[in-house]
């Protein structure tokens, strides 16, 4: 009897100690969304279970090894036991009850995390090897809707955002550890569009990382997220929705950044995935069929809208996305060409 009391006391004491350590030690990344609060609550419950079972096993093993060790002169035989119906019933019913309870609180948390806010703003997220593009629809004067494309995901604090996730090529996954929630991004068009709801509640800069291995530069498939207050968000959006009033070259640079060209094309002569744009305009280039061309406006235009028409020597066809003809306006293409021409 005295053994049971001591063991029970040690198990309780150890559970409290280990549980407090696990739930207070910063084991998880910063908590930056309303959804994270709920998910971390589930984590805490599991930490307490882990603390209890860890203590139960450790205390029994250590206690037995020390207190019931074989003393000099004792024979090494244990007591032979066969079956214990009451124990069997208890250790069947208790785990079933625990698992059912976990299922209930799990379902409840899932419902909270996926709660729809009718005020939510919608952002279309496009994943492609190996960059992210974020598209907002903004009402400009006259009630027309302009699309704002950005390589940074800017979000207002304390407002739910509905992310509609699309992939241009293979399966990617949208994951921001600070927001906790994660969702695979599938190719295949509208039917395969997936949704994710996030309510950021902490201002700051975070990173979205691709969490599904998707090729050579998967590790580098990151984009910045800025959570700002609501008025700052709205003025950023209005500014982006305005026409590009910079010079053609500067607008071209803006599009090349926003549409992810610079993820594959460097401006300093290094080869990332595609040829560098430095000194490209006006140079002579060898193509994979052995011929040579001079890089002019017509060639650049074709390289953007129909990348497979001519392949640069040493590179492969089919790597550059084939979809820019449908995404960029003619004006944007001209401005990108002007930007490339300025990189001498």
The 8-class DSSP code of residue 301 comes to: H
Nearer to Cu ion, 166 or 172 (CB): 172
* DSSP output for 302-314: HHHH-TTSS-BTT
Q: Contact region for ligand HEC (CB under 6 A) — 93-101, 132-140, 192-200, 295-303?
A: 295-303
- Interactions with ligand HEC, residue window 101-130 (CB under 6 A): 129
CB of 218 to Cu ion, least distance (A): 5
11, 149, 165, 336: which one binds ligand HEC (CB under 6 A): 336
Rounded to whole angstroms, the Cα distance separating 150 from 223 reads 10
Angle at Cα 138 formed by Cα 301 and Cα 241, nearest 5°?
Answer: 50
Q: Select the binding partner of residue 253 from Cu ion, ligand HEC, none (C-beta < 5 to 8 A, by kind).
A: none
CB 335 within 8 A of CB 252: yes
- Taking alpha carbons only, the member of 193, 182, 333 closest to residue 252 is 333
Q: Select the binding partner of residue 261 from Cu ion, ligand HEC, none (C-beta < 5 to 8 A, by kind).
A: ligand HEC
CB 313 within 8 A of CB 249: no
Q: Select the binding partner of residue 172 from ligand HEC, Cu ion, none (C-beta < 5 to 8 A, by kind).
A: Cu ion
Site membership for Cu ion, residue 176 (CB under 5 A): no
Nearer to ligand HEC, 8 or 271 (CB): 271
CB 118 within 8 A of CB 104: no
Q: Select the binding partner of residue 321 from Cu ion, ligand HEC, none (C-beta < 5 to 8 A, by kind).
A: ligand HEC
Q: How many residues bind ligand HEC (CB under 6 A)?
A: 25
Site membership for ligand HEC, residue 156 (CB under 6 A): no
Site membership for ligand HEC, residue 221 (CB under 6 A): no
Site membership for Cu ion, residue 341 (CB under 5 A): no
Q: Select the binding partner of residue 259 from Cu ion, ligand HEC, none (C-beta < 5 to 8 A, by kind).
A: ligand HEC
Bridge-based pairing state of the strands 153-156 and 222-228:
parallel
CB of 152 to ligand HEC, least distance (A): 17
Rounded to whole angstroms, the Cα distance separating 295 from 137 reads 36
- Taking alpha carbons only, the member of 89, 144, 118, 291 closest to residue 197 is 118
- Taking alpha carbons only, the member of 150, 145, 184 closest to residue 260 is 150
Site membership for ligand HEC, residue 275 (CB under 6 A): yes
Site membership for ligand HEC, residue 252 (CB under 6 A): no
For residue 103, the cross-strand partners are none
Site membership for Cu ion, residue 210 (CB under 5 A): yes
Q: Contact region for Cu ion (CB under 5 A) — 103-111, 209-217, 224-232, 242-250?
A: 209-217
Site membership for ligand HEC, residue 320 (CB under 6 A): yes
Burial class of residue 92 (count of CB atoms within 10 Å of its CB; 0-12, 13-18, 19+): exposed
Report in angstroms the alpha-carbon separations of 263 from 42, 128, 267, 288, 338: 38, 10, 11, 23, 19
CB of 226 to ligand HEC, least distance (A): 23
Site membership for Cu ion, residue 221 (CB under 5 A): yes
303, 335, 338, 341: which one binds ligand HEC (CB under 6 A): 303
Supply the angle between the helices 248-258 and 330-341 in degrees, to the nearest 10.
110
Rounded to whole angstroms, the Cα distance separating 32 from 110 reads 18
Residue linked to tokens 């994979």: 288
Site membership for Cu ion, residue 172 (CB under 5 A): yes
Nearer to ligand HEC, 14 or 131 (CB): 131
Q: Contact region for Cu ion (CB under 5 A) — 84-92, 104-112, 208-216, 304-312?
A: 208-216
| Contacting positions for ligand HEC (CB under 6 A) | 129, 259-261, 263-265, 273-275, 280, 285, 295, 300, 303-304, 307, 311-312, 315, 319-321, 324, 336
| Contacting positions for Cu ion (CB under 5 A) | 172, 210, 214, 221
């Amino acid at each position: 009897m005295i053994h049971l009391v001591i063991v029970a006391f040690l198990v309780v004491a150890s559970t409290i100690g280990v549980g407090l350590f696990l739930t207070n030690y910063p084991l998880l990344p910063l908590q930056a969304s309303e959804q994270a609060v709920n998910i971390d609550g589930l984590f805490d419950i599991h930490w307490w279970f882990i603390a209890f079972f860890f203590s139960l096993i450790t205390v029994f093993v250590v206690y037995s090894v020390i207190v019931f060790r074989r003393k000099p002169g004792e024979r090494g035989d244990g007591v032979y036991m066969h079956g214990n119906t009451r124990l069997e019933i208890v250790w069947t019913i208790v785990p079933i009850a625990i698992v059912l309870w976990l299922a209930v609180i799990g379902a409840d948390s899932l419902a909270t995390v996926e709660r729809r806010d009718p005020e939510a703003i919608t952002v279309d997220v496009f994943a492609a090897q190996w960059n992210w593009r974020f598209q907002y629809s903004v009402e400009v004067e006259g009630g027309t809707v302009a699309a704002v494309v950005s390589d940074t995901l800017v979000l207002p604090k304390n407002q739910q955002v509905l992310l509609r996730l699309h992939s241009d090529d293979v399966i990617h996954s949208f994951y921001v550890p600070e927001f906790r929630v994660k969702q695979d991004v599938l190719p295949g068009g509208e039917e395969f569009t997936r949704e994710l709801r996030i309510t950021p509640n902490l201002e700051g800069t975070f990173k979205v990382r691709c969490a599904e291995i998707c090729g050579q530069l998967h590790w580098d498939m990151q984009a910045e997220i800025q959570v700002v207050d609501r008025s700052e968000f709205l003025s950023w959006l209005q500014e982006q929705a305005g026409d590009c009033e910079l010079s053609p070259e500067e607008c071209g640079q803006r599009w090349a950044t926003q549409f992810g060209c610079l993820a594959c094309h460097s401006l300093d002569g290094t080869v990332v995935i595609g040829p560098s744009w430095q000194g490209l305009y006006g140079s002579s280039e060898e193509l994979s069929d052995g011929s040579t061309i001079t890089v002019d406006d017509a060639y650049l235009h074709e390289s953007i809208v129909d990348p497979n028409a001519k392949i640069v020597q040493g590179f492969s066809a089919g790597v550059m996305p084939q979809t820019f003809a449908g995404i960029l306006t003619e004006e944007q293409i001209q401005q990108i060409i002007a930007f490339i021409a300025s990189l001498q």
